[in-house]
Amino acid sequence: MAYFSFRRCLRWQHVAALFLLLPWVLFCASAIAQTQGQTQEQTLKVGVATVPPFVMEATGGELEGISVDLWRDIAERKGWDFSWQPLSFSELLSAVESGDIDVAVGALTMTADREERFDFSHPFYQTGLSIGVLPQPDQNLFTALRALISWQFLSVVLGLAALLLAVGVVVWFAEHKRNPEQFGGTTLQGLGAGMWWAAVTMTTVGYGDKAPTTPLGRLVGLVWMFAGLIVVASFTAAITTSLTVSNLTSRIQSENDLYGTVVATIDDTASQRYLQEQHIRYRAYPDLTTAMTSVAEGETGAVVYDRALMQYRNQQLGDKHLSILPDVFAKQLYAFAIPEGSALRAPLSLEILDVTESEQWSDIVSRYLAR
């Protein structure tokens, strides 16, 4: 009888516990259902900031770009209704932090500082900084001949001629009276003989057809023999520089070569922070087009910026396009930004993984970037 009472008591305790837990179970089920259906019941506010080629305005006011196409594909898959909220970049970050928008779409770099302010989805694009320099010209006979008629080359030749004339005048003055056989004749003939002697002595080929015989003339000859070695070496270096001046940009092959030039970049960007941290001289420009044009016009020696953005902008520069070096450094990841604790994070990240692992993603990227 006691056994029967004990079991009966246990049954009543179970029933009472179920009645006590039932409201909590119903509440949790309702909260889960509400969370799962939240994105389907409301129109999502999607903030965008123009950053070609990730977000840009097409003909007719429609938005397009890598990030825009990715979001549209995800929203279509999930059946989400949304409306665009155009904002500046600074407004975009503030809006997602305050929860005024549900998603921020653009070219948002994942950083520790931003992660403290809001959440990120799974990254959808890996990029980094690259260097843009002047294209290296094709090396051919025409390029060499064009360098030979440059003002730099002609100024070197004129300078050398002036030096030979000066030495020729001194030798002629010392020799024309006492050595008229070699440096005599008219003034013009004497100066010509002096220049000839200065030239053959400088090149150390000295034919022996002319030689100074006076003490002053021989002193000038001795000094000129040694000075001629320096002059020939300097002249050879000047010619080499003139012939290769068009290839000076080729010396920039990586970020380690940036210390010897002035680099163009844009204010308040990852590239500017990188240049500051590396103590590289730079000049800030208001936009990417102006920065890249400064390299084409010789104001700066290179431009450092996000590789994907430079690739896209480079297509629009025409004759002023740059050569973008293949190396990528200071790598960074792009992702969608969402308010902290948002229920969109998990489903959004899963869809990003699904899309970026498909062939469709390659089509989206190649549509805007020449690879």
CA distance linking residue 259 with residue 236, whole number of Å: 28
pLDDT at 339 over 70: yes
10 Å Cβ neighbour count for 253? 12
Whether 105 and 65 have beta carbons less than 8 Å apart is answered as no
CA distance linking residue 116 with residue 96, whole number of Å: 12
The model's confidence at residue 44, banded by pLDDT at 50, 70 and 90, is: very high
- The fold for domain 141-241 equals Helix Hairpins (1.10.287)
The pLDDT, as a whole number, for residue 305 is: 93
CA distance linking residue 320 with residue 298, whole number of Å: 11
133-139+247-331 belongs to CATH 3.30.70.270 = no
The pLDDT, as a whole number, for residue 72 is: 94
In tens, the pLDDT along 259-318 reads 989 999 998 788 998 999 999 999 999 989 999 999 998 899 999 999 988 988 888 888
The pLDDT, as a whole number, for residue 57 is: 87
10 Å Cβ neighbour count for 309? 21
What residue spans define the domains of the chain?
A: 2-127+333-368, 133-139+247-331, 141-241
In this chain, the answer to whether the domains covering 133-139+247-331 and 141-241 adopt an identical fold is no
Torsion of CA 50, 56, 62, 68, to 10 degrees: -90
CB-count burial class (<10 Å; 0-12, 13-18, 19+) for 251: exposed
Q: Give the three-state DSSP class for 83.
A: strand
The pLDDT, as a whole number, for residue 242 is: 59
pLDDT at 29 over 70: no
DSSP 8-state secondary structure symbol assigned to residue 111: -
| Residues in a beta bridge with 84 | 46
The pLDDT, as a whole number, for residue 141 is: 54
Whether 258 and 280 have beta carbons less than 8 Å apart is answered as yes
pLDDT at 3 over 50: no
Average pLDDT over residues 231-258: 71
The pLDDT, as a whole number, for residue 176 is: 80
Q: Which residue has the tokens 């209704």?
A: 81
The pLDDT, as a whole number, for residue 38 is: 47
Percent of the chain predicted with pLDDT > 90: 34
The model's confidence at residue 2, banded by pLDDT at 50, 70 and 90, is: very low
The pLDDT, as a whole number, for residue 349 is: 95
In tens, the pLDDT along 122-165 reads 999 998 999 999 887 655 555 556 656 666 677 778 888 888 88
The pLDDT, as a whole number, for residue 32 is: 43
10 Å Cβ neighbour count for 368? 18
In tens, the pLDDT along 12-22 reads 555 454 455 55
Average pLDDT over residues 32-48: 66
201 contact partners, CB below 8 Å, separation of at least 6: 221, 224, 225, 228
Task: Please give the mean pLDDT across all residues of the chain.
Answer: 81
The pLDDT, as a whole number, for residue 317 is: 86
Where does 2-127+333-368 sit in CATH, by number?
3.40.190.10
Structure tokens, 337: 């930004």
CA distance linking residue 271 with residue 300, whole number of Å: 15
